[in-house]
Amino acid sequence: MGRATEHLAEHLGQGGGGLLNATFGNAAELIIALFALSKGLTGVVKASITGSIIGNILLVLGLSFVSGGVKFSKQQFNRTAASISATALTLAAIALIIPTIFHQAAAHVPVAQGGWTPAREQALSLAIAVVLFLTYALMLIFTLVTHRQLFGGLESQSLAREAGAELTRMEAEAGPHAPWSIRKALGVLLVATAFVALVSEFLVGAIERARETLGLTEVFVGVIVVAIVGNAAEHSSAILMAVRNKMDISIGIAAGSSLQIALFVAPLLLFASYFFGSPMNLEFTVPEVVAVVAAIIIVEQISGDGESNWVEGIQLLSVYAILAILFYFLPDAHPAAHELERITEAATSHP
């Protein structure tokens, strides 16, 4: 799939290729999520969004820092690129907090006076999704058009391309290959997509059976297990790059992937949910919001100095472990929402 995208990119030029990369880079997650959306499982979709974000920036980056750090006592990376990703992630975190804040603030106001209703939460979420989507589009223009020369080697999109080039070079060492035609690239892309969809369906079934056997909650599986399985490709590439001391690519993969999930995949899923007849809002549970915010804050600190070592990797993994512990103990229901409904009920039954 990745290779088909790359070949297609050669035909579409760099701009279109970057967009394609952005669209299909997280294809597996997107397909699994669309599959869950079609069944109305919006809670599962949100859990997998949360899981992808924290999985990429804590687990993938943590393992990369440790793998690279075992070989190199100190590894350096470009602070500017890391900082642009970090800011965009903060923007995403703020966007994901707002619907929850709205619910909590408007929950006890009578509906006639503007109190919380599912329709208003939906409208708020839609408006925020549009803002995120536009911001992402403008960030692509920045990276691919206005600041292509300036930031050429630094940006996540370029890094993805560089990563692709690096992987291609490794491939090339194994044997020669010719550029594909548009038709071939598109065909492979479609077949691969269908294949991922099939595998996803199988995978979801297998995970569900394992879940019941092990007595795990759906939340834990959605946030932790699915994210680890779904990001397997990011894991292996990022760690490989870290071991080769190419930290910029490693960070580009981990942070870029989180970024796309938050600013592109999440709004896209919200728009798509309208086609399935069960509109999804962007209200995450409090533990999900806390997990994303905590992950983003620690990653900003660690990436702020442009250097990594194995203990910073351990610190990222440690935060991931603490969040995994939280989701392991957390019961399945979305209690934040229920709690508020019950409180409203209890409160409104008294004058």
Q: Which of 12, 19, 107, 233 is close enough to bind its own copies by CB under 8 A?
A: 107
Residue 119 within binding range of its own copies, rule CB under 8 A: no
Q: Which of 13, 71, 101, 208 is close enough to bind its own copies by CB under 8 A?
A: 101
Write the CA distances from 201 to 52, 142, 204, 349, integer angstroms: 18, 37, 5, 45
Residue 216 within binding range of its own copies, rule CB under 8 A: no
Residue 214 within binding range of its own copies, rule CB under 8 A: no
Write the CA distances from 89 to 54, 56, 161, 215, integer angstroms: 11, 12, 21, 33
Specify the stretch interacting with its own copies by CB under 8 A; choose among 174-182, 185-193, 244-252, 342-350: 342-350
Residue 240 within binding range of its own copies, rule CB under 8 A: no
The pair of structure tokens assigned to 102 is 């709205």
Q: Which of 145, 150, 182, 198 is close enough to bind its own copies by CB under 8 A?
A: 150
What CA–CA distance (Å, rounded) separates 135 from 218?
Answer: 32
| CA-wise closest residue to 60 among 217, 249, 209, 187 | 249
Q: How far is CA 324 from the centre of its chain?
A: 17
Residue 102 within binding range of its own copies, rule CB under 8 A: yes
Smallest separation (angstroms) from its own copies to the CB of 49: 17
Q: Which is nearer to its own copies, 203 or 286 (CB)?
A: 286
Q: Which of 39, 139, 210, 229 is close enough to bind its own copies by CB under 8 A?
A: 139
Compute φ and ψ for 76, nearest 5 degrees.
-110, 150
Smallest separation (angstroms) from its own copies to the CB of 295: 9
Give the footprint of its own copies on residues 11-70 (CB under 8 A).
Answer: none
Residue 106 within binding range of its own copies, rule CB under 8 A: yes
Residue 104 within binding range of its own copies, rule CB under 8 A: yes
Residue 330 within binding range of its own copies, rule CB under 8 A: yes
| CA-wise closest residue to 160 among 50, 9, 313, 312 | 9
Smallest separation (angstroms) from its own copies to the CB of 61: 13
Residue 79 within binding range of its own copies, rule CB under 8 A: yes
Q: Which of 142, 166, 188, 193 is close enough to bind its own copies by CB under 8 A?
A: 142
Q: Between 276 and 305, how does the x/- string for binding to its own copies read (CB under 8 A)?
A: ---------xxx--x---x--xx-xxx-xx
Q: For 135-148, give one letter per residue: b (16+ CB within 10 A) or e.
A: bbeebbebbbeeeb
- What is the DSSP track for 180-238? PPHHHHHHHHHHHHHHHHHHHHHHHHHHHHHHHHHT--HHHIIIIIHHHHHTHHHHHHH
| CA-wise closest residue to 248 among 148, 152, 150 | 152
